[in-house]
């Protein structure tokens, strides 16, 4: 999910829709202002950290996972609406290096999943992608199949796939470790693919 595609007001409205059943009135306004001040310029995969910080009661903490799914749903809906206004979405076929960067990043994350967790992690990841109504092609890198199966995949779908991967990583290892894994992966991508616009993915 590419946070740079949309302005702050658009993303704030989407997050408001995602949180309005959990926060009302001044409380909702306060958490939205906090997001805008602290997180509006950060990539979408840190949403879980934001939610972790605003869920200060036991009741809110119990609903944190549902909040994350709802907020991602609203941001994804925003993206779908915006994509309908464009003539054609970029695909992986436009750049072999961009596909390789995506594949390297996915492998970077999966290589840090504990061996005993890997089967369950992969199963939960596939379930998450299906819940988010993402293309089955996003499953292919995790299954180590050919690049050709992803050549028609919109870049927006790939960005959502990375967000889904982060969501599952947080479920298994928490936001702090997940943020560290993602930050390291992003640094490696910048070093290995200096000429790519990685904002299309992260």
Q: What is the pLDDT of residues 75-102, one digit of tens each?
A: 887 776 665 554 444 554 445 677 778 8
Break the chain into its structural domains and give their ranges.
3-83, 92-200
pLDDT, residue 6, reads 60
Q: Is the pLDDT confidence value at 53 over 90?
A: yes
pTM of the model: 0.54
Task: Indicate the range of 77-81, 118-122, 133-137 predicted with least confidence.
Answer: 133-137
pLDDT, residue 57, reads 92
CA angle, 179 then 180 then 186, to 5°: 85
Distance CA 112, CA 153 (A): 26
Predicted confidence band of residue 138 (pLDDT cuts 50, 70, 90): low
Average pLDDT of the segment spanning 150-168:
73
Of the candidates 49, 177, 188, the one whose C-alpha atom is nearest the C-alpha of residue 114 is: 177
pLDDT, residue 55, reads 93
pLDDT tens figures, 18-51: 999 999 899 999 999 999 999 888 877 788 889 9
- Burial code (b: 16+ CB inside 10 Å, e: under 16) for 6-21 equals beeeebbebbbbbbee
SS3 state of residue 154: strand
Contacts of 32 (CB under 8 A, 6+ apart): 12, 15, 16, 19
Predicted confidence band of residue 143 (pLDDT cuts 50, 70, 90): very low
- Please tell me which residue, 100 or 114, carries the higher pLDDT value: 114
Predicted confidence band of residue 176 (pLDDT cuts 50, 70, 90): confident
């Amino acid at each position: 999910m590419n946070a740079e595609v949309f302005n702050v007001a658009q993303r704030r409205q989407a997050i408001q829709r995602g949180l309005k059943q959990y926060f009302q009135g001044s409380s909702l306004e306060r958490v939205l202002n906090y997001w805008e001040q602290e997180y509006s310029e950060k990539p979408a995969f840190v949403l879980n950290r934001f939610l972790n910080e605003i869920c200060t009661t036991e009741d809110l903490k119990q609903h944190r996972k549902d909040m994350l799914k709802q907020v991602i749903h609203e941001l994804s809906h925003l993206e779908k609406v915006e994509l309908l206004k464009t003539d054609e979405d970029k695909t992986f076929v436009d750049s072999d290096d961009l596909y390789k960067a995506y594949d390297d990043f996915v492998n970077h994350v999966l290589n840090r999943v504990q061996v005993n967790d890997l089967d369950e992690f992969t199963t939960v990841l596939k379930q998450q992608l299906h819940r988010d109504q993402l293309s089955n092609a996003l499953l292919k890198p995790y299954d180590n199949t050919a690049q050709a199966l992803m050549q028609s995949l919109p870049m927006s779908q790939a960005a959502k796939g990375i967000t889904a991967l982060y969501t599952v990583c947080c479920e298994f290892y928490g936001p702090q470790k997940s943020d560290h894994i993602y930050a390291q992966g992003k640094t490696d991508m910048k070093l290995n693919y200096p000429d790519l616009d990685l904002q299309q993915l992260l």
